[in-house]
C-alpha cells in the first residue's frame, strides 16, 4: 500500500483500464521512472482506491490495469469546512496543506475589514489554482480518498449568510472569556457539518464579530496565548479532527 | 496591554529602570519610532510583565521607567517538551514558531536513522541561534511570559535516556492500532512534565520504535491520515495544549 498515489478523474477509468496523460504521466515515467509491471495507487475522488499495475509507460501516456479496488476509510466522521481569512505571503498555502492532511472537506477563503484586500481577479484565480494543486498533493501524500474543495475569495457577509447551513459554526476569537473549542465540540454528532472560521491577523471589528454571532457562529477560544492566523487554523483543525475521530 | 513586547535579561532592570541596547534599541527607536512617554511591555523571562514608560530613546540605548508589574498567567498547566526529529528546509523553523505560540516550554531537536544527518558543528550552531531567535519572537508575539529553551541536535539514543525523567512520554506513531493521543492524555495531571516525540519524514526503524517503547515512550496516533513531520508536531502540541488547558 506504499505505492505512489494519484488522483484522477473517474472518466480516466474504462473497464478496469486506467489512462493517465499530462504532468502525471511525465511524473510517473520521467521523475519516478516507473515501468511495466510496477504498481501505483489511483484515487478517483470518491474514496475508492484502485491498485493499478502499469502496462505501458511513456512521458505522454501511462496505461495500467486495475488489479483490485478498496474503499478507503480515512475521512473524518464530520464534514469539516475551514473558513480562512486571506493572509499575507504564503500563509494560506501552508494552511491548505496542513488542513488537508488533518482532514478538512472544504475550505473557503474570505476577506473582511482587517484582512488583506481581495487581489485582482486574475491574481486570485492564480492563487486558487495554486491552492487546489497544493490540496491535491497533500491529499495524495496523506492517504486521503478525496481532495478538499477550495473556494474564494468571498466577502465576510457572504460567508455569514452560509453559516445557518451548517450544523455547527465556530469562530475563533481571542476576546472575552469564550468557551474553549473542545467544550463547543462536546455536542457535535457523527455526520454533522461543521464550519470553523479563522479571522485575519488584525482580528475582526466589533461590528463584524457581533453580526457573526447573530448569524449563529459561536465564538471559541483556543487557549490563553495569542495565535497567528495560520496557527489558529491548523491548531483548530487538529483539535476538531482529533476530537471527532473515533 | 497591546504594547510592543520585549524579552530582556533581569540584569537590565535596576531599581525600576530598564535599559535596552543593541538590536532591540534600534527596533524601538528606528523601526517602531517610539519616543519619550510611549509605553512598551518588558518581559524578564520569569513570567513577570513590566509596563514601562520610555524616558529616553536613541538607536544605541533606550531607557524607561517601570510603571507597574503584573505576573502573567499564559503558561500551560503542564511542562510540555517537544522532541522533533531534524527535518529538511525550514520545517523545524516553522515548528519552533508554532509550538512556541502553542505553549511548549522546551524543545529538543534530535536525529535518528532516517532523519537527515546532523549538520556540521558550525551549521548546527547557526541553526540553533536562528531557532532561538524565532522562539523569542514567537513568545513576544503570542504574549507569553517566558521563552522556550531549544537544544540539539542530540542522538535518538540520548533522547531516550531522558524519557524516564518525564511524568508522561508520548511518541507519535503511524503504525499499528495505537491509542489516540487524547486517550493518552486522560491521566495527565496538572503540573506534570510531558514529552511529545515526533519522528522524521521517513519514520523510525522497527528497532528504534522498539527501544523507544522499552524506554517508556507510549506510541500514540493522531488519526487515520498520514501527517508530515511538521504537521504532526504542530497538531500534537495543539491537541495536548488544548486538552490540558483549564
Cα–Cα–Cα angle for B43, A224, A212, nearest 5°? 130
Residues of B in contact with A102 (CB under 8 A): 223, 225, 227, 231, 235
Tens-digit pLDDT profile for chain A (246 aa)?
A: 468 999 999 999 999 999 999 999 999 999 999 999 999 999 988 888 999 999 999 999 999 999 999 888 889 999 999 999 999 889 999 999 999 999 999 999 999 988 777 777 778 899 999 999 999 999 999 989 899 999 989 999 999 999 999 999 999 998 756 799 999 999 899 999 999 999 998 899 999 999 999 999 999 999 989 999 999 999 999 999 999 986
Task: Choose between B62 and A174: higher pLDDT.
Answer: B62
Residue B18 at interface with chain A, using a CB cutoff of 8 Å: no
Residue B61 Cα, gap to closest chain A Cα (Å): 29
Would you put residue A58 in left (φ > 0), alpha (ψ -120 to 50) or beta? beta
Candidates B97, B103, B228; nearest CB to A223: B103
B48 touches chain A (CB under 8 A): no
pLDDT score recorded for residue A177: 67
Decide if pLDDT at B2 tops 70. no
Say yes or no to pLDDT of B69 above 90: yes
- B194-232: per-residue pLDDT in tens? 999 999 988 999 999 999 999 999 999 999 899 999 999
How close B121 gets to chain A, by Cα (Å)?
31
B107: enclosing H helix or E strand: strand B106-111
| Confidence tier at B187 by pLDDT (50, 70, 90) | confident
Tens of pLDDT, residue by residue over B73-86, are 889 999 999 999 99
pLDDT for the residue B97: 98
CB contact under 8 A, B223 and A241: yes
What DSSP string describes A219-243? Answer: EEE--SSPPPHHHHHHHHHHHHHHH
Contacts (Cβ under 8 Å, ≥6 apart) of A183: A220
pLDDT of residue A246: 61
pLDDT of residue B177: 67
Confidence of residue B176 (pLDDT cuts 50, 70, 90): low
Task: State the cell numbers at A42.
Answer: 489511483
d(CA A110, CA A146): 23
Residues of A in contact with B143 (CB under 8 A): 224-226
Inform me whether the pLDDT recorded for B1 exceeds 60. no
- Residue B234 contacts A where some CB pair is shorter than 8 Å: yes
Cell of B157: 539514543
User: d(Cα A138, Cα A102) in Å, to the nearest integer?
Assistant: 10
CA distance A60 to chain B (A): 30
Note whether B101 contacts A: Cβ–Cβ < 8 A. yes
Mark yes or no for CB contact A228/B101 under 8 Å: yes
Residue A30 at interface with chain B, using a CB cutoff of 8 Å: no
Give B94-136 pLDDT, tens digit per residue.
999 999 999 999 999 999 988 777 777 778 899 999 999 999 9
Looking at residue B123, its pLDDT comes to 86
Residue B140's closest chain A neighbor by CA? A226
Complex ipTM value: 0.87
Can you give the pLDDT at residue A197?
98
Chain A residue numbers with beta carbons less than 8 Å from the beta carbon of B237 are: 235
Considering only the beta carbons, identify the residue of B94, B144, B223 that sits closest to A242. B223
In this prediction, residue A52 carries a pLDDT of 96
A181 touches chain B (CB under 8 A): yes
B101–A143 CB contact, under 8 Å: no
Counting Cα atoms < 13 Å in the Cβ hemisphere of A243 gives 24
Query: Does B47 have pLDDT greater than 90?
Result: no
Query: What confidence score (pLDDT) does residue B17 get?
Result: 96
- A225 and chain B in contact, CB less than 8 A: yes
The answer to whether A98 and A198 have CB atoms below 8 angstroms apart is no
Q: Do B180 and A227 touch (CB under 8 A)?
A: no
Residue of chain B nearest A104, judged by CA positions:
B225
Kindly state whether B114 is in contact with chain A, defined as any CB-CB distance less than 8 angstroms.
no
Cell numbers representing residue A16 in the block? 478496469
Amino acid at each position: 500500500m506504499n505505492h505512489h498515489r494519484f488522483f484522477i478523474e473517474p472518466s480516466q477509468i474504462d473497464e478496469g483500464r486506467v489512462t493517465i496523460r499530462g504532468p502525471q504521466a511525465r511524473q510517473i515515467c520521467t521523475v519516478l521512472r516507473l515501468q511495466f509491471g510496477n504498481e501505483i495507487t489511483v484515487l478517483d475522488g470518491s474514496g475508492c482506491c484502485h491498485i493499478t499495475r502499469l502496462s505501458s509507460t511513456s512521458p505522454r501516456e501511462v496505461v495500467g490495469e486495475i488489479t483490485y479496488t478498496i474503499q478507503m476509510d480515512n475521512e473524518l466522521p464530520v464534514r469539516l469546512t475551514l473558513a480562512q481569512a486571506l493572509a499575507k505571503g504564503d500563509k494560506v498555502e501552508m494552511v491548505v496543506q496542513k488542513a488537508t492532511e488533518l482532514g478538512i472537506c472544504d475550505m473557503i477563503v474570505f476577506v473582511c475589514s482587517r484582512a488583506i484586500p481581495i487581489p485582482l481577479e486574475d491574481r486570485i484565480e492564480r492563487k486558487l489554482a495554486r491552492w487546489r494543486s497544493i490540496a491535491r498533493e497533500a491529499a495524495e501524500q496523506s492517504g486521503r480518498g478525496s481532495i478538499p474543495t477550495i473556494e474564494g475569495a468571498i466577502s465576510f457577509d457572504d460567508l455569514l449568510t452560509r453559516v445557518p447551513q451548517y450544523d455547527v459554526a465556530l469562530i475563533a476569537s481571542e476576546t472575552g472569556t469564550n468557551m474553549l473549542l473542545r467544550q463547543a465540540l462536546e455536542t457535535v454528532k457523527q455526520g454533522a457539518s461543521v464550519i470553523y472560521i479563522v479571522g485575519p491577523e488584525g482580528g475582526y471589528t466589533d461590528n463584524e464579530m457581533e453580526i457573526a454571532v447573530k448569524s449563529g457562529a459561536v465564538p471559541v477560544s483556543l487557549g490563553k496565548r495569542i495565535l497567528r492566523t495560520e496557527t489558529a487554523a491548523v491548531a483548530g483543525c487538529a483539535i476538531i479532527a482529533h476530537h471527532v475521530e473515533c
